[in-house]
Amino acid sequence: MKSNYIQTAVVILLCILFIYAGIFKAMDYQLFLSDLSKSPLLVKYDKTLLAPMVLGTEFLIVVLLSFTLTRKAGLFLSFFVMLLFTLYLSTLYFLYTNIPCSCGGILGKMSYPTHIIFNAVFTVMSAAAILVGVKKPVILK
C-alpha cells in the first residue's frame, strides 16, 4: 500500500517536471533551437528534427504516466530520458565550457552542478517508482 503512495508521488512530480520543461521550451522554441545548436555534443544531428523529438518525448512521458495501463512504460521512459539528460549535462559540464543549457525556465537558470544533481535525483526517483511497482515473487513453502 505504501509503495502505491510513493509511486503516485513520483509520477506527479515527473509529470510536473516534464510539463514545465516542455512548455518552457515550446514557448521560446527559437531559443531552444539556438541553444541546441550551440551544443558540441549535438553537432551531427539535425536540430529541426531533434528539438521536436525532445518536446514530443517529454509530453509523451506525461501521457504515459497519466494512465494506469501505460504508467510502467512512462516510468521506464522517464528513467531513460532523465538518465540521458543527466549524462548529457555531466559531459557538457566536465568536458566543455560556456555551453548554454537548452532547458527552459528556472531549470535553464540552474548552475550545471545543481542541474546535474536535480536530474540525478529525478533519475533515482524514477528508478525507485519502477522498483516499488514490481510485484514481489511469491515464495512457496
Question: What is the number of residues in the chain?
Answer: 141
Instruction: Report angle CA 54, 52, 15 to the nearest 5 degrees.
Output: 45
Stated pTM of the model = 0.88
Task: Identify which of 89, 81, 91, 104 has the alpha carbon closest to the alpha carbon of residue 30.
Answer: 104
Instruction: Find out whether 75 and 11 touch, Cβ atoms under 8 Å.
Output: yes
The answer for residues whose C-beta is within 8 angstroms of residue 116's C-beta and 6 or more apart is 86, 89, 90, 93
pLDDT tens, residue by residue, 66-108: 999 999 999 999 999 999 999 999 999 999 887 777 777 788 7
pLDDT attached to residue 136:
54
3-state percent breakdown (helix, strand, coil) of the chain, nearest 5: 80, 0, 20
Query: What is d(CA 89, CA 110) in angstroms, rounded to the nearest whole number?
Result: 12
Instruction: Average the pLDDT over each of 31-45, 47-61, 91-105 and give the range with the smallest value.
Output: 91-105
